[in-house]
Amino acid sequence: MALSRRRFLREVLSASAALYLGCTEAEDGADAQALEDQGESPLDAGPDAEVSPDFGADFGTDFGADLGADAGTACADGLAGATFEAVVPFVGDAVQFHTPRNAGWDGRLYTDLSLVDRNRLLTPIPEFYIRTLFPDRLDLAAHLPWQIAVEGLDAPTQLTLDDLLPLARPMGAHVLECSGNSRGAQFGLLSATEWTGIPLEAVWARLGRLPTDRVELGGFDDHSVPSANNHSTPGASWIFTLDQLRGAFLATGMGGAPLTLDHGFPVRLIVPGWYGCTCIKWLNLIRFVDDAAPATSQMVEFASRTHQTGVPALARDYQPAALDQAAMPVRLERWRRGGQTLVRVVGILWGGSQVTTELSIRFGADQPFVPVDVCPPMTGNALWTVFEHVWVPPGPGMATIRCAVAGVRTRRLDQGYYDRAVEL
């Protein structure tokens, strides 16, 4: 039976990826299956508090030691003597996880966050979310060795990825979240893994004296299938200041393997602590621009979802597309102790730029927030922190669960964006 062009590219180029980056095993792919489209819920733009321009620099890259932070930590067992009965679904759970669907700009793969636990902090690559599948108009075979055009210097130049690869190194574990992550997708556009990449500071050093403090990074974004309902517009680039890119890197690998096609092979941008819409895939352009540069089409499209005030016309008027501190439950378990029903709430705390202990949770708008003892404690913002809480429901019925974090900016939490409902 003849292979489709897309399947042919996947099978041939996954092998090419392994050879190109010195890896001997390609990742296992998930079977394609159709699923009804889930809309993305842009946030209403509102007044935006200032964020430090070097926000990305707050995230360390030596994160390997933190992955084992709970070893030897004694945490109180609120379920001592209780018996597990069942996992309780959130109201509205209907997404099929870990299965690619649709094509091009509308291509999605959702991560099942209920699998996150203290002993499973990193997302396996076949389960890592995808927002926009591999462009079918990108003929990779014709573009290797991969070139990155550099514009805005005294003379245009090209960087060859082959020449940059010796600069690649482990960049630590980082969370990535799509700015369109939503309840309709069960918040499945959120994942975490360890990355390998080339620090942008090393790229700037290779280029020598830089002409401006503002740079546009862009990637290949040409698909044969248009986006349904205009969910996405052509053009994938974002304009940053150099300070905003401190700590950013050109990723060449994830989860100990080369990038896959759908995750941007052979190279993508990662800006730690910023939404995924800024982390350009199939990166092929570095352009230095001046302060009068207009916002790119990508910046305009994602303005509301990155908490901009309106839709600024100039790139310089965009605030950093940084993740605020956020928290939500990802798994609920029903337990029984004597005649009492207990609910174990497992959740994640992510985003932001400073460590916090001020997490609380409530189980209904008419209920008070109660503190959550995060144990083991939060040690950094690059990866998420797993928390647990034992809830004693007053009886059967519906409850809406909301988290709160005091002392830091939490715009989405304040709006109830990550609320999750359960019926017992």
pLDDT digits (tens, 9 = 90+) for 161-198: 999 999 999 999 999 999 999 999 999 999 999 999 99
Tokens of 401: 């669960």
Beta-sheet pairing, 249-254 with 257-258:
antiparallel
pLDDT digits (tens, 9 = 90+) for 229-275: 766 777 899 999 999 999 999 999 999 999 999 999 999 999 999 99
Q: Which residues of 26-48 are buried (b: 16+ CB within 10 A; e: fewer)?
A: bbeeeeeeeeeebebeebeeeee
Largest CA distance in the chain: 77
- pLDDT number for residue 329: 98
The predicted model scores a pTM of 0.85
| pLDDT tens-place values along the chain, 424 residues long | 343 434 434 443 444 444 344 332 223 333 323 333 333 433 433 333 333 334 344 433 333 334 544 444 678 889 999 999 999 999 987 889 999 999 999 999 999 999 999 999 999 999 999 999 999 999 999 999 999 999 999 999 999 999 999 999 999 999 999 999 999 999 999 999 999 999 999 999 999 999 999 999 999 999 998 888 766 777 899 999 999 999 999 999 999 999 999 999 999 999 999 999 999 999 999 999 999 999 999 999 999 999 999 999 999 999 999 999 999 999 999 999 999 999 999 999 999 999 999 999 999 999 999 999 999 999 999 999 999 999 999 989 999 999 999 999 999 999 999 999 999 8
Q: In what order do the strands lie in the sheet with 370-371?
A: 370-371, 359-363, 398-405, 420-423
- pLDDT number for residue 231: 65
Tokens of 21: 């980056």
The H or E element containing residue 25 is none
Looking at domain 70-93+324-423, which CATH architecture does it have?
Sandwich (2.60)
Count the Cβ atoms, other than its own, within 10 Å of residue 389. Answer: 22
DSSP secondary structure of 238-257: EEEETGGGTT-EEEEEETTE
Q: Where in the chain is the domain with CATH 3.90.420.10?
A: 94-317
Pick from 243, 266, 220: which is nearest to 57 by CA?
A: 243
Residue written as token pair 């969370």:
175
Tokens of 69: 């932070």
Dihedral sign from CA coordinates of 151, 156, 162, 163: negative
Please answer whether residues 265 and 259 qualify as being in contact, where contact means their C-beta atoms are separated by less than 8 angstroms.
yes
State which amino acid sits at residue 395.
G
Please answer whether residues 271 and 208 qualify as being in contact, where contact means their C-beta atoms are separated by less than 8 angstroms.
no
CATH superfamily of 94-317: Oxidoreductase, molybdopterin-binding domain (3.90.420.10)
- Interatomic CA distance for residues 419 and 424, integer angstroms: 16
Q: Where in the chain is the domain with CATH 2.60.40?
A: 70-93+324-423
- pLDDT number for residue 226: 87
- pLDDT number for residue 24: 28
* Exposure on the CB side of residue 355, measured as CA atoms within 13 A: 8
Q: Which residues contact 420 (CB under 8 A, 6 or more apart)?
A: 90, 91, 183, 328, 329, 400, 401
Mapped to the 3 state alphabet, what secondary structure does 367-415 carry? CCCEECCCCCCCCCCCCCEEEEEEECCCCCCEEEEEEEECCCCCHHHHC
* Exposure on the CB side of residue 210, measured as CA atoms within 13 A: 21
